[in-house]
Amino acid sequence: MDRKIFDEEHEMFRDSVRSFLQNEIQPYSDKWQEQGIVDREAYLKAGEQGLLLMWADDKYGGAGVSDFRYEQVLIEENARYGDAGFFASLHNRLVGPYIGELGTEKQKARWLPKCISGEHILAIALTEPGGGSDVAGMRTRAEDKGDHYLLNGSKTYISNGILADLVIVAAKTDPSTSHGLSLFVVERGMEGFERGRNLKKMGLKSQDTAELYFNNVKVPKENLLGEWNKAFYHLMHFLAEERLLGAVGYLGTSNAAFDITMDYITERKAFGRTIGEFQNSRFKMADMRTEIDVAQAFVDQCVLEHNAGRLSADDAAKAKLFTSELEGRVVDTCVQLHGGAGYMDEYPICRMYLNARVSRIYAGSSEIMREIIARSVGLDPRKRSPQAVSSEAAA
């Protein structure tokens, strides 16, 4: 189905992004996969191209373009012509807006220009060894010591964890309430801030994912981001965008997997026919095309809603849930249609399959998405009537 959400300018942008990715990102994919990390130069080159934090005001060096469709184009093209571990969109739209929206004028002037040029790379650290889904249960603590904050704790599975120059760290600042969290910008080189291993993963091998340790880190007062004790609400505010970013990417991969499989099954032959001529293959491709197109219509609508400031948490959760589950089905079917070649690292579908497994886990797992959606339809166990609770207790 023709997509109606893009204008000519988006398509021109798509062409330039595509050639940037083909020339500056994709050729390094094998090297990065091997070394377990993207070269910093990738961010510098993306910065030169104007692809980082496009939404930021031009007084900081940004393009002042908040239209999410440009980021959507970048994500879609990266899924096909770039490298899955090049997490520019995490830098751009998942972490950057915390500074852009919560930062004071001074903080924005201090941090945004280097994030836009690619000299500074961003990460966000919520997940801890003790748990990720339960944000309110985090143990990393920060205390107000008068002229600084004292940060102690550890985080794990942090994307860009090795590359990051600025890490937005969530920590408990009011232990008397589960929601008493605050956000701090921890900078490379701060005393007591250590990085652990670059973790070995099933997929996304070119993406650096690390443990981070904070041992009595003295965080300057001016590095508190947003309001003291209000981080839980700040995090909730940004989650819809994070889930939409995911959904766009999972569909991008699904589309790319579909296309490379189409090429493969129309060339490869068995029993004197192309694989694509078997009824099983044709029906599998028909099912995938249908599901991808239907999902795309929903996600494109979510993008327009997001641009209008109306994307709800439950619609973002539906988009993330459906597209991540769909991506899993698509890459699995595409590997099957490739036969043994699909299991070989040299075929792109093999990496797509391995990379896709995490989509149902991070940025809120499928189970957490179902929780959010179930609550939105009125099935919220936290809001059970006192009568229901007391009759259950009596039973």
Ligand X SMILES: Cc1cc2nc3c(=O)[nH]c(=O)nc-3n(C[C@H](O)[C@H](O)[C@H](O)COP(=O)(O)OP(=O)(O)OC[C@H]3O[C@@H](n4cnc5c(N)ncnc54)[C@H](O)[C@@H]3O)c2cc1C
Catalytic residues: 242
Encoding tokens for residue 286? 């028909």
Cα-Cα end-to-end distance for the chain? 55
* Binding of residue 103 to ligand X (CB under 6 A): no
89 binds ligand X (CB under 6 A): no
Work out how close the CB of 23 gets to ligand X at its nearest, in angstroms, rounded to a whole number.
27
**Smallest separation, CB 297 to ligand X (Å):** 27
Report how far residue 328's alpha carbon sits from residue 354's, in angstroms, rounded to the nearest whole number: 10
Nearer to ligand X, 232 or 258 (CB): 232
Q: Would you count residue 157 as binding ligand X (CB under 6 A)?
A: yes
Select the span of 20-28, 117-125, 222-230, 327-335 touching ligand X (CB under 6 A): 117-125
- Minimum CB distance to ligand X, residue 150 (Å): 21
**367 binds ligand X, rule: CB under 6 A:** yes
Rg, Å, the chain Cα set: 22
Q: Which stretch binds ligand X (CB under 6 A): 181-189, 233-241, 323-331, 364-372?
A: 364-372
Residue selected from 133, 177, 280, 290 as contacting ligand X according to rule CB under 6 A: 133
Residue at 132: amino acid letter? G
Q: Residue 333: which region, alpha, beta or left (left: phi > 0; alpha: psi -120 to 50)?
A: alpha
159 contributes a contact to ligand X by CB under 6 A:
yes
- Binders of ligand X among residues 279 to 298 (CB under 6 A) are none
Nearer to ligand X, 106 or 382 (CB): 382
Torsion of CA 276, 278, 284, 287, to 10 degrees: 90
Render 317-333 in DSSP notation, one character per residue: HHHHHHHHHHHHHHHHH
Report, in Å, the least distance between residue 161 CB and ligand X: 7
Stretch that binds ligand X, among 28-36, 50-58, 155-163, 216-224 (CB under 6 A): 155-163
Distance CA 69, CA 78 (A): 14
Number of Cβ within a 10 Å radius of residue 259: 12
Q: Which of 72, 209, 296, 333 binds ligand X (CB under 6 A)?
A: 209
The candidate with the shortest Cα–Cα distance to 196, out of 129, 242, 245, 252, is 129
Among 365, 373, 374, 376, interactor with ligand X by CB under 6 A: 365
User: How many chain residues are in contact with ligand X, going by CB under 6 A?
Assistant: 21
Q: Any alpha helices (H) in the chain, and if so which ranges?
A: 8-20, 29-35, 40-48, 68-81, 88-89, 96-102, 105-117, 231-267, 279-307, 313-338, 348-356, 366-376, 386-394
> Among 262, 313, 361, 373, which residue interacts with ligand X (rule: CB under 6 A)?
361
Which bin fits 69, alpha (ψ -120 to 50), beta or left (φ > 0)?
Answer: alpha
Task: Determine, following the binding rule CB under 6 A, whether residue 140 of this chain makes contact with ligand X.
Answer: no
The residues of the shown chain that bind ligand X, judged by CB under 6 A, are 123-127, 131-133, 157-159, 201, 204, 209, 358, 361-362, 365, 367-368, 371
